[in-house]
Amino acid sequence: MSKPLSDHDRRKQISVRGLAGIENVAELKQNFNRHLHFTLVKDRNVATRRDYYFALAHTVRDHLIGRWIRTQQHYYEKDPKRVYYISLEFYMGRTLQNTMVNLALENACDEAMYQLGLDMEELEDMEEDAGLGNGGLGRLAACFLDSMASLGLAAYGYGIRYEFGIFNQKIVNGWQVEEADDWLRYGNPWEKARPEYMRPVHFYGRTEHHPDGVKWVDTQVVLALPYDTPVPGYRNNVVNTMRLWSAKAPCEFNLKDFNVGGYIQAVLDRNLAENISRVLYPNDNFFEGKELRLKQEYFVVSATLQDIIRRFKVSKFGSREIARTDFSKLPDKVAIQLNDTHPAMAIPELMRVLVDEEKLSWEKAWDICVRTCAYTNHTVLPEALERWPVDLFAHLLPRHLEIVFEINRRHLENVAAKFPGDNDRLRRMSLIEEGGQKRINMAHLCIVGSHAVNGVAQIHSDILKATVYVPEITTNLPVILYAGESQLTPEIQSTYAAPGYHTAKMIIRLITAIGEVVNNDPVVGDRLKVIFLENYRVTLAEKGIPAADLSEQISTAGTEASGTGNMKFMLNGALTIGTMDGANVEMAEEAGEDNLFIFGMRVDDVDELDKRGYHAEEYYNRLPELKQAIDQIAGGFFSPKQPDLFKEIVNMLMHHDRFKVFADYEDYIKCQEKVNALYKNPKEWTKKVIFNIAGCGKFSSDRTIAQYAREIWGMEPTLEKLPAPDDKP
Ligand SMILES: *Cc1c(COP(=O)(O)O)cnc(C)c1O
């Protein structure tokens, strides 16, 4: 297992040894060996590198347990306001190194492994990414959990424990091929199953209206089995919980009511119910109206709200000290943050629980619901907006459809009272879209059911205010911080495509085709390589982003809500060439516009161009270089064996390019010439890098969460530490 250490590694080890407490190291070695023996049931003759990783993971995990239990005890006793961050995605990546860093164990573990003849970085590389997200939205949720723990907030992340996360991307003959992400195959040392807290989630059935209220009956039940993952704060002894639900068929599933083919068939059909948590939908910024996805969304919402209300009921303000639960205190003790509209069903579900089960009046329940819930919008692209067909809703969640209709009836009554006779406004603001197939607009549902709505960057919030009906918008900035060493060369390109997302896959194929030509051109030689980074994921971002010199953030103004990669590159010493879009705008504000390479249309220019009419061929005919590039792509220069391969991409660019990229082309090329000129002057380049790094503080997710806490949740973040526990297992 051990590999000979280079001089560099040795120096690193020696410097590390001075920092690691000797007792700590001895104890870590002992516990590592104990776990190898008792947990992995291996000795050093037969142990694999993966066994050593698991032994180290369990050793480190032991140091979380005391802090975890004591943090939760502390919350139970102090009963602070709880924040519930509900998200269909938590893109966590790896856990081992983050845990060691936050618990200040990294040096001691490194030394302990070294003394055992093992290389810690090699062991770290055995950990699977927890890839339970598509991109920015899921990574944001992961960063927010980290920051909420670091700021001492009594916070919980709630989501789905997908058995298969985002697919592994293989490039085969230049094409993307997807492979299932079987991340749990060897077990997950960071999670703890809690079957004792299993909760029923209901689907289908029908409603009965009685004088004493509405009953939802004849439902099919799926159980939600929680798995808890510890979320340590940065060196403050706080350990919060991420609770992910897994679908489990009840024992009587299909045996009593829906018996189709007898006992064996009923047991086999349990898979159908358990498919709910089988796989993450690999759609980034795209709405695919599949029934299974709606089931996932309601599944996480229903199980989570049961947990929230149980915890509230046993709290001081619930019934622990009061005979009957006083739900009017719910908004003082609970904040629910909806990560995009994916968990929007929390709004009608909370209404259903309060009205149908807890027998509150509609008015009282609605006031509680609105003051408890807040919504973060992540995009204005129409293809990403969730618009569920009413028919599907009626079938899967009949009671919730009635509730949504009632929310809408009252909402439109208010609008009509404010704007008498304005029927067009009523149509625009309705939660229900008429005309053709009736659909529920989930963003509208979130806006009327929340007390705060925020976009993810200033410009995005401004666009939301100008284009969508938003009563009150607070603004926020997301961010992700990565630290690491440069391990890759800078000429790196990456992009992303969900399976079935045809255009994106064709773009990947075009990039690999250009690589085949450029990388084998004898004149170009080794001076330029076009490389498509296969299987981009959190682990690869941690390595690749610090290696980059130039960050290209070139979305057409008004189309990228924020971006988060832009900020990661800024922090890690790359300069940005970008449009005035998303968080680029604030990056320019913070670092100084002269320290970024800004080009292209502003939002107003794009609007003007839309009015004038965008015609790609004008740019194509006017700019010979652009024409040549497009002609080469269309004519098979990059695909000599299949000259027509990229005709559809060219056709898209020339005739239906919603993003109007040719309109920014000329300015982009001019701007790249400025980049080239500055790159030849390392001193001036480095100056700008320093202004960027010095200016990126605003983009800390700690800063963002402190702002959410104060402006949305009515909570005060703290840098106080909990007392350190006795770690001895
Ligand atoms: C940050 C991040 C993203 C999102 O990047 P954007 O630039 O915001 O699109 C996607 N995937 C991974 C692995 C990331 O770390």
The DSSP bridge partners found for residue 208 are 215
Question: How far is Cα of residue 724 from the mean position of the Cα atoms in its chain?
Answer: 31
Mean predicted confidence (pLDDT) in 64-87: 98
Cα–ligand 1 centroid distance for 94 (angstroms): 15
Least confident of 74-88, 372-386, 434-448, 454-468: 454-468
DSSP class per residue in 183-206: TTTT--TT-EE-GGG-EEEEES-E
Neighbours of 478 (CB within 10 A): 25
Helix (H, G, I), strand (E, B) or coil at 20: coil
Residue among 564, 566, 584, 699 to mutate when testing ligand 1 (max atoms within 8 A of CB)? 564
Cα–ligand 1 centroid distance for 567 (angstroms): 10
Buried residues in 121-146 as b, exposed as e (16+ CB within 10 A): eebbebbbbbbbbbbbbbbbbbbbbb
Cα–ligand 1 centroid distance for 564 (angstroms): 6
Q: What is the DSSP code (8-state) at residue 340?
A: S
Cα–ligand 1 centroid distance for 411 (angstroms): 37
Mean predicted confidence (pLDDT) in 253-268: 80
Model confidence band, residue 475 (pLDDT cutoffs 50, 70, 90) = very low
Looking at residue 317, its pLDDT comes to: 66
* Encoded tokens for 325: 């639960």
Mean predicted confidence (pLDDT) in 352-372: 98
For 478-510, the three-class secondary structure string (H helix, E strand, C coil) is: CCCCCCCCCCCCCCEECCCCCCCCHHHHHHHHH
Contacts of 222 (CB under 8 A, 6+ apart): 200, 201, 203, 247, 248, 249, 250, 273, 274, 276, 299
Atom of ligand 1 nearest to the CA of 540: 13
The DSSP bridge partners found for residue 157 are 85, 242
Atom of ligand 1 nearest to the CA of 564: 8
Burial of 655 (0-12, 13-18, 19+ CB in 10 A): exposed
Ligand 1 pocket, residue 497 CB under 6 Å: no
Cα–ligand 1 centroid distance for 136 (angstroms): 5
Looking at residue 473, its pLDDT comes to: 56
Looking at residue 467, its pLDDT comes to: 86
Residue 659 near residue 703, CB atoms below 8 Å = no
Residue among 89, 91, 143, 553 to mutate when testing ligand 1 (max atoms within 8 A of CB)? 91
* Percent of the chain with pLDDT strictly greater than 90: 88
Ligand 1 pocket, residue 564 CB under 6 Å: yes
* Encoded tokens for 41: 């049931």
Mean predicted confidence (pLDDT) in 563-584: 98
* Encoded tokens for 230: 């510890």
> Does 405 or 482 have the greater pLDDT score?
405
Has residue 264 got a pLDDT over 80? Answer: yes
Atom of ligand 1 nearest to the CA of 135: 10
Going from N- to C-terminal start, the domains of the chain cover 1-78+95-128, 79-94+129-479+709-713, 492-702
Residue 97 near residue 106, CB atoms below 8 Å = yes
Atom of ligand 1 nearest to the CA of 562: 8
Mean predicted confidence (pLDDT) in 466-484: 55
Beta strands per DSSP E along 361-456: 373-376, 387-389, 432-433, 439-441, 452-454
Ligand 1 pocket, residue 480 CB under 6 Å: yes
Cα–ligand 1 centroid distance for 46 (angstroms): 39
pTM of the shown model: 0.95
Q: What's the mean pLDDT when you consider all of the chain?
A: 93
Looking at residue 322, its pLDDT comes to: 63
Query: In whole angstroms, what is the distance from residue 205 CA to residue 53 CA?
Result: 47
Burial of 426 (0-12, 13-18, 19+ CB in 10 A): middle
Task: For 293-339, write each residue's pLDDT tens digit.
Answer: 999 999 999 999 999 999 999 987 666 656 689 999 999 999 999 99
Model confidence band, residue 650 (pLDDT cutoffs 50, 70, 90) = very high
Least confident of 241-245, 423-427, 495-499: 495-499
Atom of ligand 1 nearest to the CA of 553: 7
End-to-end CA, the chain? 27
List, in sequence order, the alpha helices (H) in 275-314.
291-313
Residue among 477, 535, 538, 540 to mutate when testing ligand 1 (max atoms within 8 A of CB)? 538
Ligand 1 pocket, residue 544 CB under 6 Å: no
Residue 553 near residue 563, CB atoms below 8 Å = yes
Cα–ligand 1 centroid distance for 275 (angstroms): 27
Least confident of 113-117, 320-324, 395-399: 320-324
Looking at residue 23, its pLDDT comes to: 76
Homologous superfamily of the 492-702 domain (CATH) = Glycogen Phosphorylase B; (3.40.50.2000)
Query: In whole angstroms, what is the distance from residue 27 CA to residue 240 CA?
Result: 26
The 3-state DSSP composition of the chain as helix, strand, coil percent (nearest 5) reads 50, 15, 35
Residue 401 near residue 353, CB atoms below 8 Å = no
Query: In whole angstroms, what is the distance from residue 572 CA to residue 547 CA?
Result: 8
Which run of H or of E encompasses 701? helix 701-708
Least confident of 57-61, 499-503, 637-641: 499-503
Task: For 613-635, write each residue's pLDDT tens digit.
Answer: 999 999 999 999 999 999 999 99
Beta strands per DSSP E along 294-369: 334-339
Helix (H, G, I), strand (E, B) or coil at 454: strand
| Max Cα-Cα span within the chain | 84
Question: Any idea which residue has 């599933």 for tokens?
Answer: 253
Q: What residue type is assigned to position 244 of the chain?
A: L
Question: Any idea which residue has 């896959």 for tokens?
Answer: 505
Mean predicted confidence (pLDDT) in 679-685: 98
Looking at residue 230, its pLDDT comes to: 99
492-702 and 79-94+129-479+709-713 share a CATH fold = yes
| 79-94+129-479+709-713: in CATH 3.40.50.300 | no
Neighbours of 63 (CB within 10 A): 23
